């Protein structure tokens, strides 16, 4: 690390007492291979933008050798901090910890390797200065596998359709937003990739910045089909949380009504056979299916009704909005 020490001025190696302009929160997994290079390139851009900054690396339970890189880096550069988790908790948990410990008024998130050319990140700061609260990166001229690009295009099209938020690259790890966004959003599970959508629904102004894609040498090749299955389930959860959290009866009532009506249709058909044609129906599997559908429909609708009662009881403690400005 001596060469890094020579490039850092004495002033930069002293921990700043004032909060920096930008907190760079870096998610660290086994793909991190060059923490010094990531720091140098990103810090160079922030210096060119005239921003004071700190780096916070969050190690999501990787091999001790990975964290050793961060220890060496923080030893020479005092505005670099690192947090290590005892095991892998996932990106949402790791980044939430990073947001809590960040001191800057702006937060820039990065993955364990740079997905974009650092020089293009400056455009994100320009958009914040134009009044936006959240800027999501949009990788263009991508260099990864064609199949990955095709799958990413389809996935993001589905995200736009479900969320009604015009994002083109929800999987980009480069995101820049104001500190208030992190303070108001609850990020858990695998919802980290949906932060811009959650922010837009909360009333924050969200924009996209076109960034030049960099070859991701440490990235995974072709994604495993299980990845897309998990993301599809996340989208289903996002759809429910976004549209039916405050009105669960609309969702469960709709599903329950469909099941109940299907059961009614089956039983009506059987009744027609019995009373018009005089045929026996007691031994027909359709009778069991019809009754089962009706019971499931009633039970599903009951879940929605119970949800409505819970929300009615605790509604005063639920805040799904934000106040931007008050004039008195």
The SS3 assignment for 76 reads helix
Higher pLDDT, 183 or 108: 108
Tell me which residue has tokens 């921990």. 15
What is the Cα–Cα distance from 108 to 124, expressed in whole angstroms?
Answer: 10
The answer as to whether 239 is a domain residue is yes
The answer as to whether 287 is a domain residue is yes
Q: Quick one: which of 249, 214, 89 has its CA closest to 143?
A: 214
Higher pLDDT, 241 or 54: 54
3-12, 99-108, 202-211, 214-223: least confidently modelled range: 3-12
- CB–CB of 94/63 below 8 Å? no
Question: Strand order in 175-178's β-sheet?
Answer: 80-84, 53-59, 22-28, 106-110, 175-178, 134-140, 206-212
Please name the residues in contact with 174: beta carbons below 8 A apart, sequence gap of 6 or more: 108, 109, 110, 111, 115, 116, 121, 124, 137, 211
DSSP class of residue 327 equals -
The answer as to whether 13 is a domain residue is yes
Q: pLDDT tens digit string along 272-290?
A: 988 888 888 888 888 899 9
* CB burial string 1-15: b at 16+ within 10 A, e below: eeeeeeeeeeeeeee
Query: 225 with 271, same domain?
Result: no
Domain boundary among 181, 211, 244: 244
Task: Output the domain CATH number for residue 131.
Answer: 3.90.550.10
Query: How much is the mean pLDDT over the chain?
Result: 83
Per-residue pLDDT at 223:
60
Q: Quick one: which of 97, 223, 96 has its CA closest to 171?
A: 223
- CB–CB of 242/171 below 8 Å? no
Query: 224 with 259, same domain?
Result: no
What is the Cα–Cα distance from 56 to 318, expressed in whole angstroms?
Answer: 31
The answer as to whether 272 is a domain residue is yes
Q: pLDDT tens digit string along 31-67?
A: 887 888 899 999 999 999 999 999 999 998 888 888 8
148-152, 209-213, 220-224: least confidently modelled range: 220-224
Question: HSE-up of 184 (CA within 13 Å, CB side)?
Answer: 22
The answer as to whether 154 is a domain residue is yes
Please name the residues in contact with 307: beta carbons below 8 A apart, sequence gap of 6 or more: 248, 249, 252
The answer as to whether 324 is a domain residue is no
The answer as to whether 192 is a domain residue is yes
The SS3 assignment for 200 reads helix
Write 306-311 long-range contacts (CB < 8 A, 24+). 307/248, 307/249, 307/252, 308/247, 308/248, 308/249, 311/246, 311/248
Model confidence at 113, pLDDT cuts 50, 70, 90, reads confident
Query: 45 with 61, same domain?
Result: yes
Query: 264 with 239, same domain?
Result: no
Query: 235 with 309, same domain?
Result: no
Query: 194 with 62, same domain?
Result: yes
Please name the residues in contact with 217: beta carbons below 8 A apart, sequence gap of 6 or more: 113
Query: 60 with 21, same domain?
Result: yes
Domain boundary among 204, 227, 244: 244
Query: 231 with 85, same domain?
Result: yes
Query: 179 with 300, same domain?
Result: no
Residue 262 has pLDDT above 70, yes or no: yes
Residue 12 has pLDDT above 50, yes or no: no
- CB–CB of 56/30 below 8 Å? no
Query: 95 with 203, same domain?
Result: yes
Query: 131 with 206, same domain?
Result: yes
Task: Note down the domain range covering 22.
Answer: 2-244
Query: 286 with 199, same domain?
Result: no
Number of domains observed in the structure of the chain: 2
Per-residue pLDDT at 222:
56
Domain boundary among 203, 224, 244: 244
The tokens describing 117, both together, are 């050319």
For the chain, what is the total number of helices (H) and then of strands (E)? 11, 7
The tokens describing 130, both together, are 């134009």
Within the chain, strands assigned E span 22-28, 53-59, 80-84, 106-110, 134-140, 175-178, 206-212
The answer as to whether 223 is a domain residue is yes
């Amino acid at each position: 690390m001596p060469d890094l020490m020579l490039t850092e001025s004495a002033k930069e190696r002293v921990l700043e007492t004032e909060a920096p302009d930008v907190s760079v929160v870096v998610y660290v997994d086994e793909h991190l291979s060059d923490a010094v290079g990531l720091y140098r390139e990103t810090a160079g851009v922030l210096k060119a933008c005239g921003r004071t900054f700190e780096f916070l690396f969050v190690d999501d339970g990787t091999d001790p050798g990975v964290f050793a890189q961060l220890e060496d880096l923080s030893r020479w550069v005092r505005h670099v901090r690192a947090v290590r988790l005892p095991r892998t908790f996932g990106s949402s948990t790791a980044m939430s910890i990073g947001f809590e410990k960040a001191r800057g008024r702006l937060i820039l998130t990065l993955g364990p390797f740079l997905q974009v050319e650092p020089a293009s990140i400056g455009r994100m700061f320009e958009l914040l200065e134009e009044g936006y609260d959240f800027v999501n990166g949009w990788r263009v001229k991508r260099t990864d596998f064609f199949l990955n690009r095709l799958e990413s295009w389809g996935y993001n099209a589905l995200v736009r359709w479900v969320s009604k938020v015009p994002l083109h690259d929800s999987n980009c790890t480069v995101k820049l937003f104001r500190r208030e966004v992190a303070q108001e959003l609850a990020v858990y599970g695998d919802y980290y990739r949906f932060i811009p959508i959650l922010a837009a629904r909360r009333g924050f102004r969200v924009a996209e910045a076109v960034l030049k894609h960099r070859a991701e040498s440490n990235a995974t090749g072709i994604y495993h089909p299980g990845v897309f299955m998990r993301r599809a389930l996340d989208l289903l959860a996002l759809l429910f949380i976004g549209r039916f959290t405050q009105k669960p009866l609309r969702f469960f009532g709709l599903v329950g009504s469909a099941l109940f009506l299907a059961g009614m249709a089956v039983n009506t058909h059987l009744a027609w056979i019995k009373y018009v044609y005089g045929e026996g129906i007691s031994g027909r599997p359709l009778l069991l299916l019809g009754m089962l559908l009706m019971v499931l429909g009633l039970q599903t609708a009951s879940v929605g009704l119970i949800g409505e009662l819970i929300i009615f009881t605790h509604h005063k403690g639920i805040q799904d909005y934000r106040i931007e400005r008050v004039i008195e």
